Amino acid sequence: MTSLATRLKSEIARDGPMAVDVFMARCLTDPQDGYYTRQTALGANGDFITAPEISQIFGELIGIWALATWQALGAPAHLRLVELGPGRGTLMQDVLRVFCGARARKTAPAKLEVVLVELDGAMRARQAATLRGTSGDASGDASDDAGVTLLWTDSLSKLRHDGTAVTIVLANEFFDALPVAQYVMSERQWCQRVVALGRDGELAFAIGQPVAAAMPGMAAASAAGVGDGQVFESRHSVIVATSGPVRAFADIASQCPAALLVIDYGDTCASGVRTGETLQAVAAHRFADVFEAPGMHDLSAHVDFSELTSALSDAGVATRPTLSQAEFLAALGLEARLATLIAGKDAATANALQVDASRLVAEPGMGDRFRVLCACSQGIAVPYPFA
């Protein structure tokens, strides 16, 4: 049993059942024993592998997207480039390689402020170590000769407003790690789903209080005749909270030209009716029981892109239909970049590069399980390749 499990059990015994989103937040970000707090094993040897860790092409194409978006916004001298949940810093490293190349050709912003939104101290240190080489910045908060500044903050809502900067926000596999609330249909009412103690004293799901106010999407699900025991998941409260990422981005987008790129696994839901449980634990590239080892396993849940899009548009931000990861990467020139990387390489290296790049766009696989959402300030040109 983990020490977090012991603490959670005694808290539940003392205070009563805990909402699923609170449980998830504790498992991931508990200051002592949270998964992200104590582990640094993302990547091939870790519990799960993300697109930037698979192939450098992923981050490079996002770099090209950011550069093209900055140019479409009038190429101002100062760009603020933000990443939510940067993990090991690999994506930003690849993005910055593209910006450095463009700078040599004088087609990049003279002043580039890179803001990494990260809760955890150990993760920040890891990101600094990865990015130091790229920016030449040892302290992590000073400007270097190349005009690149690295800054860290724990929340997008804490970004100070800077009237002149164009802001581009990137988020790869960030929203799936945000706490998800669950509701369960019980006797024709939506009730909160909670974590309680089972008869054996172990953590177990239970049905909590009926919900007072319906979450967006719940009414449609009820109308569709949802049966007892069905689960409805929502991040609505978390993302639209005052300090949540949707509200924070909407604030930024109303003050300066801004674009947001969200890449994550999940789906859009055409009918607006979504039920089904997607909360999952992953350890060493395998699925595990959510309650098996709190704080030791990664927890995540599908991103409901319909919910995210509605929340952004309700907050006054312009949104476009999502693209699949395969569509997005193909439009940005995956094949051409791969051909350049392969040129002159020996057969084994070329083959490995090809295999990794294919994995990003595989269908079925990352190419269709991951979707890409773009949102931006009202009145600015919609960034390519979103229509």
* Position among 99, 174, 190, 291 found at the interface with ligand SAH (CB under 6 A): 174
Contact letters (x/-) for ligand SAH, 298-327, by CB under 6 A? ------------------------------
86 near ligand SAH, judged by CB under 6 A: yes
* Position among 118, 233, 251, 304 found at the interface with ligand SAH (CB under 6 A): 118
CA distances from 7 to 22, 25, 70, 84, 310 (A): 14, 14, 47, 29, 37
113 dihedral zone (left: phi>0; alpha: psi -120 to 50; beta): beta
172 near ligand SAH, judged by CB under 6 A: yes
Q: Give the sign of the dihedral formed by CA 123, CA 119, CA 12, CA 199.
A: negative
Q: Cβ closer to ligand SAH: 18 or 238?
A: 238
Q: Which residue has the tokens 């689960």?
A: 231
Shortest distance (Å) from residue 141 CB to ligand SAH? 18
Q: Give the sign of the dihedral formed by CA 48, CA 52, CA 58, CA 61.
A: positive
Q: Cβ closer to ligand SAH: 83 or 137?
A: 83
What phi and psi values does residue 193 have, to the nearest 5 degrees? -95, 130
- The DSSP code for 32 is T
State the pairing for strand pair 148-153/111-117.
parallel
Q: Cβ closer to ligand SAH: 95 or 207?
A: 95
Q: Cβ closer to ligand SAH: 113 or 173?
A: 173
Q: Give the sign of the dihedral formed by CA 12, CA 242, CA 313, CA 377.
A: negative
Spatial neighbors of 370 by CB under 8 A, at least 6 apart, are 51, 263, 264, 265, 324, 325
109 near ligand SAH, judged by CB under 6 A: no
Q: Which stretch binds ligand SAH (CB under 6 A): 166-174, 199-207, 280-288, 309-317?
A: 166-174
The order of strands in the sheet holding 280-283 is 286-288, 280-283, 298-300
Q: Cβ closer to ligand SAH: 168 or 178?
A: 178
Helices 56-72 and 90-104: angle between axes, nearest 10 degrees: 50
* Position among 18, 64, 177, 218 found at the interface with ligand SAH (CB under 6 A): 177
Size of the site for ligand SAH (CB under 6 A): 21
Shortest distance (Å) from residue 155 CB to ligand SAH? 7
85 near ligand SAH, judged by CB under 6 A: yes
120 near ligand SAH, judged by CB under 6 A: yes
* Position among 123, 128, 239, 281 found at the interface with ligand SAH (CB under 6 A): 123
d(CA 96, CA 144): 14
Q: Cβ closer to ligand SAH: 121 or 225?
A: 121
Residue 259: strand, helix, or coil: strand
Q: Cβ closer to ligand SAH: 89 or 217?
A: 89
Which residues, numbered 6-65, are part of the site for ligand SAH (CB under 6 A)?
Answer: 28-29, 36, 42, 50, 52-53
Q: Cβ closer to ligand SAH: 110 or 122?
A: 122
Q: Cβ closer to ligand SAH: 119 or 197?
A: 119
Spatial neighbors of 309 by CB under 8 A, at least 6 apart, are 268, 319, 322, 373, 375
117 near ligand SAH, judged by CB under 6 A: yes
Spatial neighbors of 282 by CB under 8 A, at least 6 apart, are 47, 48, 288, 297, 298, 300
Shortest distance (Å) from residue 8 CB to ligand SAH? 18
167 near ligand SAH, judged by CB under 6 A: no
Q: Which residue has the tokens 């789903």?
A: 193
Residues contributing to the site for ligand SAH (CB under 6 A): 28-29, 36, 42, 50, 52-53, 85-87, 91, 117-120, 123, 172-174, 177-178
